[in-house]
Chains A and B, each alone.
Chain A
């Protein structure tokens, strides 16, 4: 039981390049989330998926797109990377959506955009 896995662990992009961050969970959770964490800051929600087949914007969605590929997988795409997107990206999942359900986090992807 791996929990939440994320790939890659590290990535360096040049401005304007695109990439997709992958996330998978093996806990049969319905809801999945993407957060970003800038140095010394808390986590900010980018997008979430309350259930398979649905996605919705969080606090900071600009510059990102997501795909809930199936119940297990939730990917985050940067179409044209910018230095302001340098951050650590965390994927999380929970049994259902909302503040009463424990979120399980992946190890994070450290992204640098030069």
Chain B
């Protein structure tokens, strides 16, 4: 299982772009990279998933360099409601034991 490393916490201000980087040096060929968001007292919620290059949806963008040893979740123009914990996961179809790790606590200030 590929281990992931993320910053423990980050601070930002409303309206700024936030980039959270995840390191996964041992990523395997079949692995995908998935990001989840968790608000206090709630279960995690899927944000975005990708395999390589760039993926964008209505919430975020995910940048994955060619060597795939890291990935960056980009949140455009954050608001106070984006204050949450963000988890980077690496796994593949059939790889049952997904590992969440400690995540990155993002605190958005006014």
Contact = CB atoms under 8 A, between A and B. Distances in A.
Interface string A88-114: 001010001111111111111000000
B45 A105 contact: yes
B42 A99 contact: no
A105 to B, nearest CB: 3
B37 to A, nearest CB: 11
A97 B98 CA distance: 9
A98 B98 CA distance: 7
B98 A99 contact: yes
Given A99-B34, A99-B93, A99-B98, A105 B103 contact: no
A105 B43 contact: yes
Contacts, number: 73
B101 to A, nearest CB: 5
A44 B94 contact: no
B69 to A, nearest CB: 17
Contact of A103 (B31, B42, B93, B98): B98
- The binding surface of chain B is classed by DSSP as loop
A45 interface: yes
Contacts of B95: 97-99
A92 B43 contact: yes
Interface residues of B, number: 27
Given A41-B102, A42-B101, A98 B93 contact: yes
Nearest to B103: A42
Given A59-B97, A99-B90, A100-B49, A43 B31 contact: no
Interface of B: 31-32, 34, 36, 41-46, 49, 87, 89-103
Interface of A: 4, 31, 35, 41-45, 48, 50, 56, 58-59, 90, 92, 96-108
Given A58-B97, A102-B46, A108-B42, 5 more contacts: A4-B43, A45-B98, A59-B99, A103-B36, A108-B43
